[in-house]
Amino acid sequence: MKLKASGIGGQAVMEGIMMKNGDTYAVAVRKPDNEIVVKKDVDHSYQKHEKIRKVPFLRGVFSFIDSLVLGMSTLTFSAEFYEEEEKPSKLDIFLEKIMGGYGEKFIMGVTVALSIVLAVGIFMVCPFLLAELLKKVIVSDMVLALVEGAIRVGILLGYIWLISRLEDIQRVFRYHGAEHKCINCIENGLELNVENVMKSSKEHKRCGTSFLLLVMVLSIIFFLFIRVDSVWLRMVLRILLIPVIAGVSYELIQWAGRNDNKAVDILSKPGMLLQYLTTSEPDEAMVEVAIKAVEAVFDWQEFLKQYNAQGIAEEKAKAKTDGILELSKEIKRNEEKESQAVKSSSVVKDMVDNTENDSRDNDSMAKQAAKSENPVDNSHENSESDQSKDGPTSIIETDDSIKAPRIIAVDDSEEGVIKISWEKVKKVSGYVIYRKEGEEENYKMYPDVKKNHFEDREVQKKVTYYYRIRGYRLKDNKRIYGQLSPIESNGYSSKVKSKY
């Protein structure tokens, strides 16, 4: 089943997480005494620009500014728990006096404005000026623009790498990983608890890191079309194009977050790789803080109900489509057999051959019908791999009340090994694993397992494998089998292509 976007987002703060859903946000911070404090509030900037946010591309610019303001505010809130109490400075007292209680907001606005100016200077103006120094060596304007873009991306990567060396920033990056893991946990249809969050991915397509990299890459494309002689005009045009680039980047990031296909995966790959620098594996205490922030603004239980309903509808539609395709193939095979029979030269031979063919066809159709009901090749069911401790067993009997296992994790990161985990099925004695290599092969049965995970250590390089699982109960020394696992469940497919 395809991932379902939750619409929530956030950022890491000092020893905590900020999560935002619509116009509501919450900050969860673990205080020095180990208590988790949660602050929930409304982001008024969202209401202020509500009409503008409906305009594509323009909304990205305001969203970026709003995120800077909110991020600075929540970061200041979290830092208050770790700062030593100091008396207000004379400047603070003066600003509060002349600003009528709005001194803090004024300082916040100035800070955000300076942050934007510095970012433009470091990541836009500086690469341009450095590239201009090479103009005597590089004649082509296109090559010069590409060199400028390479310098810009290099400065971004260098900046991220340098700040990631700081101890405080390293902890912020771990909380950043906890934020992503929570969102991925929900959007993959899993309950929001520490165990599920810890095994979820720490990379996400809607991350701000991916947004920054996309801005850098798109700036290369946009700046290729600036062809004026004046150096100052070229620089001014670059600065004026920044809001446009930010707006386009915002739309692409949102689109990537709503879609799940190979094209999106390829386009998102560079940003996801960069997140290896800005996200780290959190500990369980950090995950607990992240969960508190999510639960303050998002009803994940209701979301999972809708997610599961969507999954059931998709599985029914796929099953119906698969049934129609199989029926079409069967009709085509029968037509080809009938056409071949008509071409026979001898009437007597035709009669004999047709009789034999009809017999074979009936057997083949009966086998095909049985196979369509159960796509698994059970030719090994009476082999040594299908023995219980009390002797041979049979799998003829089935019971649909035994639910189909749903795959919850697939790991092919280890060379020569594919690991699969699935949800436990209540009151079963064990599970049987079926595997096939390639689409046209038959499923072969593996030895049964008692736990809800399996490691396939007979994996060849760059081969596509298909897995199906079903549980069984023992009754009178016979196995009563349940339903087969679906083709896709919880965002994981039973189709796995080995990397190594």
- The domain spans of the chain are 9-298, 384-497
Lowest mean per-residue pLDDT among 25-29, 104-108, 185-189: 104-108
Q: What is the mean pLDDT of residues 119-130?
A: 91
* Token pair belonging to 169: 């920033």
- More confident call, 357 vs 447: 447
> Average per-residue pLDDT in the chain?
78
Contact 59, 247 (CB under 8 A): yes
pLDDT of residue 155: 93
The structure tokens 């008396």 sit at 87
pLDDT band (50, 70, 90) for residue 389: very low
- Phi and psi (nearest 5°) for 11? -160, 160
Summarised one tens digit per residue, pLDDT across range 426-455 is: 889 999 988 888 776 788 887 788 888 888
Nearest to 106 by CA among 74, 136, 133, 69: 69
Give the pLDDT score at 363: 52
Which of 142-156, 324-338, 432-446 is predicted most confidently?
A: 142-156
Torsion angle, alpha carbons of 384, 390, 394, 398, to 10 = -130
Between residues 276 and 63, the one the model is more confident about = 276
**What is the predicted pLDDT for the residue at 365?**
44
pLDDT (mean) for 242-265: 83
Between 440 and 467, residue with greater pLDDT:
467
**CATH classification of 384-497, choosing from 3.40.30.10, 1.10.1040.10, 2.60.40.10, 1.10.8.60?**
2.60.40.10
pLDDT at 104 over 70: no
pTM above threshold 0.95? no
Residue 27 pLDDT class (50, 70, 90 cuts): very high
pLDDT range class, residue 366, cuts 50, 70, 90? very low
Residue 283: is its pLDDT beyond 70?
A: yes
Share of the chain above pLDDT 70, in %: 72
Residue 385 confidence (pLDDT) above 50: no
Model confidence at 64, in pLDDT bands (50, 70, 90)? confident
